[in-house]
Structure 1
């Protein structure tokens, strides 16, 4: 039985701007998923509709079989059970960290409010900053406070809309790690929206791919990586090398093996770029204008070298170009 059900949601702003096209999926309680897509693919609109903050044209959202009402159906839009967190922190600038976190609890018992704020401070490692104002915090710390405020009333569903886009790499990595532990220890259902594949992979074990408002593929990252349904989905994960003579077949750079002697194909190295875990070689296939990317794990090759290339048939990705 599904806990959160998104049932064929469609949204169109005008004739040229179709945000969502019959998007539907269901999540179990406690499931954490990432929605991945480029800017304008409908990710943020989807979250606002799920949260009951925007009116959809078609479809419904259900939480435990109860309809989520949109702003046209509800006097006050939104639900305490569903919290949406944006990349903009929207903190109270003249309130301290603990005051910001406790804001949603003002109508609760004073003792409970104090206890819950302490729990959140501990959960997000914010104790040392409890008396500071937002302007005294880093971007990562401010985002933690925004998340803490959303968590304070113990929502059933947490929606994260590109929450790390303004953070540097170190801040982002640390915050994702903390959130993963929090979600693993809770029974909260989480939908994380991003355009960054690495963030999506770090946050969850299940991906939903949006393209031009359509849900084009969903599943485990490994399954999507190996069997993408279209060119767009395939290219989210890596560059694709076209196989000569077959315009519908490709091989990923990571699936190409470099041979010191003759391989299946011969190539000349055009350039070599150091990328931490490997050196990316750009090569031209012999007697063609076809350019490939190849990963060199041993860093033994340089510009101008001739190399042989081979790959296994089962790693070929084939589909009609989109």
Structure 2
């Protein structure tokens, strides 16, 4: 189990009041998938680096099982054998092949096992056909997949992923997510993912941890946070959000009907593929709702609020 105990961190140790993260506390079980979300600059990447031991804490402690995670004051080499960290910048060797990068830290005493392990991991990240390709010729997304495979090569107990699919083309992301997260679950590898993309979370994460103003403002399952968002910030992760009489209303909860007390004037239509997002004005408040077709601008519409 990972245990983050009351940690505080500032990039300037003399200015604790300007901490990036303040008094964070949470646990992650073996094999659990925790997604860390928040606005840009909320400290998602910093938290992963602290867990990896890249920085020294100002206050608090971090433990993986019985091992305390310590920073560079205590370790000449950052990191631990049981933990891997895949950053947004890839530390790959450009002039050797994909399979050589993935197998770099695997033992050469068992060549057949090494070969099979590399083959298995290239299948997980969907790069089998690039095994013999030099890394310098790959795209950014392909390099990101090589970095993922290399991090998994020695099967860590815990893996930290910082925006793991950010460089990968949209049409490849979905199948790659399913493949990688399925593998992690099957091997019971604890996974922490820092992301701004809800597709990295929904359907995969056991829990979501939301950072805001240096603090944890939510820590629960995606379903629970979707059903009961405490703030518009949390709700906005799941889609377009309206505030109506101090209530959080998702765009899909507003239904176009023939008659109701909730009237609005159509301002704009946004094509979203399977539906249009309609922007309308109600008593000087902007509302957004989903509808199968575009609606005439300046027309009056009636809306009904549906339950979640």
- Judge same fold: TM > 0.5, yes or no: yes
How many pairs are equivalent?
305
CA contact (8 A) 2:2 2:62 kept: yes
Aligned-pair distance for 1:5? 1.1
Return the offset for 1:109: 4.6
> 2: CA distance between counterparts of 1:128 and 1:75?
38
Give the match for residue 275 of structure 1: 272
Work out the CA distance in 2 between the residues paired with 1:214 and 1:69.
22
- Aligned counterpart, 1:161: 162
> Residue 81 of structure 1: CA displacement?
0.6
**Which is worse superposed, 4-13 or 120-129?**
120-129
Is 2:139 the counterpart of 1:138? yes
Bigger mean CA deviation after superposition, 151-160 or 8-17: 8-17
Structure 1's unaligned 5+ residue stretches are 316-322
Distance apart, 1:111 and its partner CA: 4.8
Structure 2: unaligned runs, 5 residues or longer: none
What is the aligned partner in structure 2 of residue 301 from structure 1? 295
User: CA-atom RMSD, angstroms?
Assistant: 2.1
2:281 is matched with 284
Q: Mark the CA change 1:62 to 1:300 in structure 2 (over 3 Å): closer, same or farther.
A: same
| CA deviation map 1:193-225 (0-9, x unaligned) | 012223222542321111122111011122112
Q: In 1, Cα distance between the equivalents of 2:121 and 2:304?
A: 53
Deviations 1:161-182 (A, max 9, x none): 1122222312333321221221
Q: Which residue of structure 2 aligns with residue 266 of structure 1?
A: 263
1:108, CA displacement in angstroms? 5.8
Moved more, 71-80 or 194-203: 194-203
Match of 2:8 in 1: 10
C-alpha change, 1:108 and 1:239, in structure 2 (3 Å) is same
Aligned counterparts of 1:215 and 1:83: Cα–Cα separation in 2:
24
Distance in 2 (CA, whole Å) between partners of 1:250 and 1:119 is 45
Residues 120 and 209 (structure 1), Cα distance of their counterparts in 2 relative to 1, 3 Å cut: same
SS at match of 1:272: strand
- Select between 121-130 and 182-191 the one with higher mean Cα deviation: 121-130
The equivalent of 1:63 in structure 2 is 64
Q: Distance in 1 between matches of 2:59 and 2:151?
A: 28
Which residue is equivalent to 1:233?
234
Corresponding residue SS for 2:202: helix
Secondary structure of 2:183's partner?
helix
2: CA distance, partners of 1:46 / 1:39: 13
Range moving further from structure 2, 149-158 or 216-225: 216-225
Structure 1 residues 106 and 54: CA distance shift in structure 2, 3 A: farther
Q: Cα distance 1:166–1:153, how it changes in 2: closer, same or farther (>3 A)?
A: same
Instruction: Pick closer, same or farther for the CA change 1:124–1:240 going to 2, 3 Å.
Output: closer
Q: Against the structure 1 CA distance between its residues 123 and 253, is the aligned structure 2 distance closer, same or farther, given a 3 Å change threshold?
A: closer
- 1:300, distance to aligned residue in structure 2 (A): 6.5
- Contact 1:157/1:189 (CA < 8 Å) preserved in 2? yes
